[in-house]
Amino acid sequence: MIRSVVRGIGSALPRRIMTNADFEGIVDTSDEWIVQRTGIRQRHIAGDDETTASLGEAAARAALGNAGLTVDDIDLILVATSTPNNTFPATAVDIQNRLGMRHGFAFDMQAVCSGFVYAITTADLYIRGGLAKRVLVIGAETFSRILDWTDRSTCVLFGDGAGALVLEASEGEGTIADRGILASSLRSDGAHKDKLYVDGGPGTSGKVGHLRMEGREVFKHAVGMITDVIEAAYAGAGVTSDDIDWFVPHQANKRIIDASAKKLGIAEEKVVTTVHLHGNTSAASVPLALSVAVADGRIKKGDLVLLEAMGGGFTWGAVILRW
What positions carry a catalytic annotation?
113, 250, 280
Tell me the torsion sign for CA atoms 13, 59, 145, 198.
negative
* Cis bond upstream, residue 247 (ω within 30): no
**Closer of 12 and 257 to ligand ACO (Cβ):** 257
The rounded Cα 34 to chain-centroid distance in angstroms is 22
Q: How far is the CB of 196 from ligand ACO (least distance, A)?
A: 5
Angle, helix 254-264 to helix 31-38, in steps of 10 degrees: 20
Distance in Å, CB of 69 to ligand ACO, minimum: 31
Kindly tell me which of 11 and 253 has the beta carbon lying closer to ligand ACO: 253
Q: C-beta of 35: minimal distance to ligand ACO in Å?
A: 11
Q: Find the shortest distance in angstroms from Cβ 281 to ligand ACO.
A: 9
By beta-carbon proximity to ligand ACO, the closer residue of 4 and 185 is: 185
d(CA 108, CA 89): 9
**Least distance to ligand ACO from the beta carbon of 309, Å?**
8
C-alpha–C-alpha distance, residues 306 and 323, integer Å: 10
Q: By Cβ distance, which residue is nearest to ligand ACO?
A: 311
Smaller CB separation from ligand ACO, 106 or 196: 196
Instruction: Give whichever of 33 and 105 is closer to ligand ACO, judged by the CB atom.
Output: 33
Q: Nearest CA to 215 among 292, 271, 280, 267?
A: 280
CA distances from 296 to 99, 184, 240, 291, 292 (A): 27, 26, 26, 9, 6
CB of 102 to ligand ACO, least distance (A): 34
CB 119 within 8 A of CB 91: no
Q: How far apart are the first and last CA of the chain?
A: 17
By beta-carbon proximity to ligand ACO, the closer residue of 4 and 20 is 20
Rounded alpha-carbon distances, angstroms, from residue 63 to 11, 168, 317, 323: 7, 12, 23, 15
Using CB under 6 A as the criterion, which residues of the chain lie in contact with ligand ACO when the complex forms? 29, 33-34, 37-38, 112-113, 152-153, 156, 196, 215-216, 218-219, 222, 252-253, 256, 280, 282, 311-312
**Residue placing its CB nearer to ligand ACO in the complex, 4 or 251:** 251
The least distance separating ligand ACO from the CB of residue 119, rounded to whole angstroms, comes to: 15
